[in-house]
Amino acid sequence: MTSPLASLLSAERKEKLKLLIRDGRIFWSKYKHNRTGIAGLGILVFFVSMAFLAPLIGQYDELYPPNSLEWARVNPTLSAPSADHLFGTDLYGRDIFTLTMYGARASLIVGLMASAISIILGTGVGVAAGYLGKSWDELLMRVTDFFLVIPWLPLMIVFAMLMGKSFTNVIIVIGITSWPWTARIVRSQVLSVKEKAFVVRARCIGAGSFTIVRKHIMPNVLPLVFASTILLIANAIFSESFLEFLGLGGDMISWGNMLEAAYDGHAFESYAWWWILPPGLFIIVLIMAFYLVGEATDEILNPKLRRR
């Protein structure tokens, strides 16, 4: 009757932890050499710190919230970058530098949460389809294909209309329209692992399905999923910018929202480039960063690519 803490730190678990750390170290030593991967990672660190430090670095949030239209009372409207306003002000006098800093939060939150939903759904379906095989596989794959075939943007627009326009709904909508992709990848990986020797041996010994999945299949599938996750995050941020630009997002400050406000506020006609450039550029850079990191991770973890 060992205490819970002791059982948590059981020798088996400790061993597993050590292996995990060792794997992590190996991963990192390989990753270090991938220049684009490092660049991507650096950019991510930059954005994450931007998101955290926004309240400190952002200007003028004592009077009104950064998004308030009342800034027009005190700030010049639609003014070019200056000493007071590093990125200038928008149509309602809001400081664009501050807004851009805060916008990083929305993008990161969407990326993480939407992909979390997608991963959970996708992995669930993928593992079930791959492992259970035959008719289950057929059925689940048909359903997956079905969702893949529906054009995502119109579907998202309809969902947004149905569920209302808010930030959480954007996250949900992206999550539930991107799981098929994950499901497919997971399924094919599960299929290839299923026939591997150690799994067959496990079955011979008589281990239950659930144990097999947990102990043998998941550890081999998860690394691949991890790489896909990062790419999924890039995709989520991409989709989020679309939805918000179309006006389907909520009130939370995000780069997509800023671009939407710029479009409605005729920034493009007034050539107010300072309103467009920061959010636009940052979206691209953030997506690229995730993409590069994802590609680098994929190269390292993907057994097929490892040969090179």
Partner 1 sequence: MNNLASVWGRARGVAIAAIVLSFLMVLSAVPMRPFSDAAAAGQTTLRIGMMEPIDSLNPQIGINDNAYVFYGLVYDFLISVNDDLGPKANLAESWYRVPDAVPYGSVWQYNLTHGAKWHDGEPFTAADVVFTVSYQTGVNWSTMWAYQPYTLLIDYAEAVDPHTVRIHFMNPDTGLPTVCTFGDSLMIPILPEHIWKKIPVAQGAFSYANPDPVGTGPFMCTERIYDEFLSGNRITLVRNPDYHLGPVKFDRLILEFYLEATAMVIDLQRGAIDLAALTAPSYDNLLDWLESHPSAPIGTYAGLTCTSYSIDIGTCMKYNSDPDYNTLRMDPAVMEAMALATDKEFIRDNIYMGFAEVGYSLMSPIYGGLYWEPNATERYDYSIEEANLILDAAGYTVDSDGIRRCAPDNPYKGFKDRLELKILVEIELPEDVATAKFLKDEWREIGIDLEVDLVDAGTWNNVVYGGNYDLCISYWSGDPDPNYIIYTQTQKALEGWSENWYYSEEYDENYTKSVLELSIASRIQYVKNCEKHTYEDKAWIVTVYPYGCYGWREDHFTGWGDWGLDPGRQLANFWSANQLFFDLEPISTNEPPSVLFDLAAGVNGTAVQVTAWAWDPEGEAMTYYLDYGDGTNLTGDIPEDGELSLSHTYTRATTFMMNLTVSDPTTGVSTESYAVIVEDGTNVPPSNIRIRPSDMSKLWADEEMDYLVTAKDVDGDPLSVDVCWDDGSDNYSVGLSSTSSIQTSEVAHTYGMGEFAINVTVDDGTYEVTLWFVLSVSDEKPAGTNWLIIVVAGGAVAAAAVVGLMLWKRRGAKEEEDVRLP
Partner 2 sequence: MAQNFSRYFFKRLLYVLITIYFILTFNFFLFRVMPADVEDILIPKGADEATKEALREYYGLDRSYLEQYVDYLGGFLHGELGKSISVRVGAEVTEVLAVYVPNTLLLVGFGTILAVFVGVVLGRETAWRRGKLADRIGSSFFIVFYCMPTFLFALVMLMLVTHYFPSWPARGTFSDDYYDLDLFGKIIDRIQYMLLPMFALVIETIAAFSIVTRSSLIDVLTEDYMVTAVAKGLRGRQVLRAHAMPNAMLPVVTTVAINVGWVLSGSIMIEIIFSYQGLGYLTWDAVWGQDYPVMQAVFMLETVAVLFANFIADMMLFKLDPRVKV
Binding site for partner 2 (CB under 8 A): 142, 145-146, 148-154, 157-158, 161-162, 234, 238, 241-242, 245-246, 259, 263, 268, 271, 276, 280, 283-284, 287-288, 291-292, 307-308
Instruction: Mention every residue, 6+ apart, whose C-beta is less than 8 A from residue 36.
Output: 292, 295, 296
Give least dist CB 163 to partner 2, A.
10
Q: Are 250 and 240 in contact (CB under 8 A)?
A: no
Of 95 and 244, which CB lies nearer to partner 2 in the complex structure?
244
302 contact, one of partner 1, partner 2, none, CB 5-8 Å limit per kind: none
287 contact, one of partner 1, partner 2, none, CB 5-8 Å limit per kind: partner 2
246 contact, one of partner 2, partner 1, none, CB 5-8 Å limit per kind: partner 2
For 80: left if phi > 0, alpha if psi spans -120 to 50, otherwise beta; the answer is: beta
What is the dihedral sign for C-alpha 162, 164, 170, 176?
Answer: negative
Of 95 and 260, which CB lies nearer to partner 2 in the complex structure?
260
Instruction: Name 89's bridge partners.
Output: 95
238 contact, one of partner 1, partner 2, none, CB 5-8 Å limit per kind: partner 2
292 contact, one of partner 1, partner 2, none, CB 5-8 Å limit per kind: partner 2
Give least dist CB 73 to partner 2, A.
30
Give least dist CB 279 to partner 1, A.
18
Give least dist CB 269 to partner 1, A.
4
Give least dist CB 266 to partner 1, A.
5
13 contact, one of partner 2, partner 1, none, CB 5-8 Å limit per kind: none
Give least dist CB 265 to partner 1, A.
7
Of 172 and 202, which CB lies nearer to partner 1 in the complex structure?
172
* CA–CA–CA angle 156, 159, 165 (5° rounding): 95
Closest by Cα among 223, 296, 224, 236 to 42 = 296
Closest by Cα among 227, 232, 226 to 287 = 232
CA separation for the pair 256, 210 (Å, rounded): 43
Give least dist CB 54 to partner 2, A.
22
Instruction: Name 95's bridge partners.
Output: 89
DSSP-derived letter for residue 216 is I
Instruction: Name 203's bridge partners.
Output: none
Instruction: Mention every residue, 6+ apart, whose C-beta is less than 8 A from residue 136.
Output: 128, 129
User: What does the binding site for partner 1 look like in residue numbers (CB under 8 A)?
Assistant: 64-65, 68-70, 72-73, 77, 92-93, 161, 165, 247, 251, 264-266, 268-270, 308
What is the dihedral sign for C-alpha 144, 147, 149, 151?
Answer: negative
